[in-house]
Amino acid sequence: MFYTDGKLQYPVRVETPDPLFARALQQAIGGVEGEIRVAMQYFFQACGARGNPKFRDLLMNTAAEELGHIEMLATAVALNLEGAPLSVKESVAADPVGGAVLGGLNLKNLLSAGLSAMPVDSDGVPFDMSHIYASGNIAADMTANVMAESTGRVLAVRLYNMTNDPGMKDMLSFLIARDTMHQNQWMAAIEELGGASGAFPIPNSFPQEQENQEFNYSFLGFQADGSDPVPGRWSEGASIDGKGQFKPMRMTEALGEKPVLGPAKPNSGAQSEQM
């Protein structure tokens, strides 16, 4: 259950409204690397967490944090749209050389939302909840969270570098810091779950003797000229999970045959020639 105080988790200040930057910020709200994604991902992972209850608590706690980040960013979008033009005439007035301002604005922020934020990305594509990874496997969930915070911090850094507005830079330096913490937080959770050698391969509950023993630590090459694939840490030495030895293997021909499906069934809507 959630409570609110209606305030912003961290101050949001815009000195010079910039409609194009509003558009960029939308990516941090409704992009696949954005805050809706992490808020809802941690929320659903918490709801489905089985086993040690501390992971549920950890996840729901951070879900609450991320909800506040959406709120901050939505406010930042609206503030950056303050003063945005509502018409071509206004646009030209605001930018005597071009009239590009109205073009730079995401029109939907104006037409659908009246100069407010929307749950869409920087191209106006609505966020799609299939991006919420909550697998029922707590370690797999944590890898999804490390990934989410990694791409999230990459995005936040790009936004930080894009703007000159001191208020926006301040807000983003907070969000970048939180992404630093969250990358570490979820890696710490993986450590609690056994780290590389204890948690991997995920799921660790599957008896590895049932997996094909010839291919589970082989680095397969699919080079057309039959050469070895590019070597690296992945092609020699102990595997990262400590349970095998990496070795390269050239796949110069298929292990299976050309598949034959047999004729189409009568009445199946195929052509007569297929039956």
The interface with a copy of itself within residues 123-152 (CB under 8 A) comprises: 123-140, 143-144, 146-147, 150-151
14 binds a copy of itself (CB under 8 A): no
Q: Say how many residues touch a copy of itself, by CB under 8 A.
A: 194
User: Whose Cβ is closer to a copy of itself: residue 38's or residue 199's?
Assistant: 199
DSSP-derived pairing of the beta strands 218-221 and 247-250: parallel
The residue among 94, 103, 190, 116 whose CA lies nearest residue 149 is 190
Q: Are 227 and 235 in contact (CB under 8 A)?
A: no
Distance (Å, rounded) from C-alpha 42 to C-alpha 241? 26
List 22, 70, 93, 168, residue binding a copy of itself (CB under 8 A): 70
Q: Are 21 and 161 in contact (CB under 8 A)?
A: no
Task: Classify residue 149 as exposed, middle or buried by CB count within 10 Å of its CB (0-12, 13-18, 19+).
Answer: buried
72 binds a copy of itself (CB under 8 A): yes
Q: Are 39 and 70 in contact (CB under 8 A)?
A: yes
Let me know how long the chain is: 275
94 binds a copy of itself (CB under 8 A): no
Give the contact letters, 99-128, x = binds to a copy of itself (CB under 8 A), - = no. Answer: xx-xxx-xxx-xxxxxxxxxxxxxxxxxxx
Least distance in angstroms from the C-beta of 16 to a copy of itself? 10
Least distance in angstroms from the C-beta of 215 to a copy of itself? 4
Residues within window 209-238 making contact with a copy of itself, judged by CB under 8 A: 210-225, 229-230, 232-234
Give the contact letters, 191-210, x = binds to a copy of itself (CB under 8 A), - = no. Answer: xxxx-x--xxxxxxxx-x-x
List 15, 93, 166, 177, residue binding a copy of itself (CB under 8 A): 177
Least distance in angstroms from the C-beta of 39 to a copy of itself? 9
Residues within window 15-34 making contact with a copy of itself, judged by CB under 8 A: 18, 20-21, 23-24, 27, 30-33
Angle between helices 19-30 and 53-81 (to 10 degrees): 160
Least distance in angstroms from the C-beta of 229 to a copy of itself? 5
| Helix (H) or strand (E) run with residue 35 in it | helix 35-47
Degrees to nearest 5, angle at CA 231 with 226 and 234: 115
Least distance in angstroms from the C-beta of 41 to a copy of itself? 9
List 15, 82, 93, 166, residue binding a copy of itself (CB under 8 A): 82
Can you say whether the dihedral through the CA atoms of 220, 225, 226, 232 is positive or negative?
A: negative
| Helix (H) or strand (E) run with residue 249 in it | strand 247-250
Least distance in angstroms from the C-beta of 15 to a copy of itself? 14
